[in-house]
Structure 1
Amino acid sequence: MTAQCAEESIYNLLPRLQEKPVKPPRYISIFRPSVKREAEKNKTQCKTMGPAKVALPSPKNFLKKHSKEPKLPASKSFEQDSKKLPELSVPRRTDHPVMGIQSNKNFINTNAIAAITGPPKKPQPICVDGRQGDKYLLQTSGLVPKYIKKKDYGVTPKYLTRRNEEMERARKEYEAGVLEHLKKRAMKQLSDEERRSLLQGLKKNWDEANREFQCLPVKIDTVSKKLYKQKLESQMKQLEHDIDVIEKHKAIYIANE
């Protein structure tokens, strides 16, 4: 009821003036002027926004045709090049030949004597392969056995000899390894003394098994007695087989495991 009475108060019917909040004064740093001076002092043209202010080109210096093409160096005059000519060069157009030189040599007789006394010119060997006279040089035909006359013909190259030696060495090493492996796994032959002692031991075991077999009762009525009798019979049969094998063969080999 108190809240409703407060809302229905007559004083609430009058309009109230809204009080505007007073803003505090804006903060201004005391170092602001010094910062502005330092910024203007350290300011450079490259750090400003926009393009740098440069002088505009003159309208007279416009781009001309073929101005960007590469240009050849200027050719030197003939007089400058003539200074560097070797001694035995082509004669100049202004040079005159030496006149008045005569020789007493008889070139006709000299050439005739050289042709008469000189060795005769050997004709090139040719090969004719047709009745029409078709011929060709024999040296370039491949019919002349000139390669078999070389000094190194039939000689094995060095790289083949070296490779064969390496292959032979590898083969010998492999054979030696195989032989060593076979020797390790080779069977051992029993000596006469070992064979005799082995045979005596087998016979002794057979005698003991036979003695136990003879000691069995006449009536075998239980399963354990039957199994024991079968065990003795199989043991005696195996011993008899081993004794027979050892007596038949004098050389006995044992494999190395």
Structure 2
Amino acid sequence: MFGSMDPPENVYALIPKEEEEIQKPPRYVSSFHPAVVSENKQIKDVMRTMGPAKVELPSPDKYLKKRCKELQLPEQSHGSKGVSRVCALTQRRPPVPARTDRPPMGQTKGGFIKPAVMAPLKPTPVSVDSHKGHKQLLETSGLVPKYVTKKDYGEVPAYLQRRSEARWRSQEEHARLEKEQEEQEAMQQLTEEERQAALQHLKKKWDALHEEYQRLPLIIETMSKKAFKKSLEDAMNQLDKDICLLEKFPIIYITKN
């Protein structure tokens, strides 16, 4: 029992094996490693929050004086002496020309010649329509006869002609439809032969229904048979009314439909 659980023995398992050394790959080293090391060696955080360890005290000779903190302009150098700079806002403008001076004629700085006298503008014609002086443009007042001189003055416009033609066509179409409807709904008299033929047809139909009604059983219990009996009775009553109508009135009018 125990022998079956042991692994199978092998002669080659007794031979000692040489241990193989596992060759590890070279470790990755960043190319920026020297720069990072040099930055870490630099002293950057000295006196970051507490300030310098020792502060130089001010000298007693350098005390605050009057107007020592005012902004002072830089001193002029040797080359800038004698050069006057004038602000454009405070610069004096040229004097006003005298009455005896002649104006400059010909081409000016702008490169064009200014006209000496401008042409006067023509006044717009107006119309005064009240004693108080109310004015309005003459062109839009309606007093200028510009529409009378047109070629189509006094004629019916084309759009009104088209509208009247469309209305006339619609009226004709409506009249035609009404006439057709009246012809369809017109009554026509039934001839004697047709009346007798219809009467015989109704009587034959009544006989067929009556024969079928006579075949019904005496005792009817189911709902379907009761409904069938009721339908036969209604049909026979309607046929009786139609037969009486045809026999009573010799002249009968019917529609075409």
TM-score, reference length from structure 2: 0.33
TM-score normalized by the length of structure 1: 0.33
Q: In proportion to residue count, which structure has more helix?
A: 1
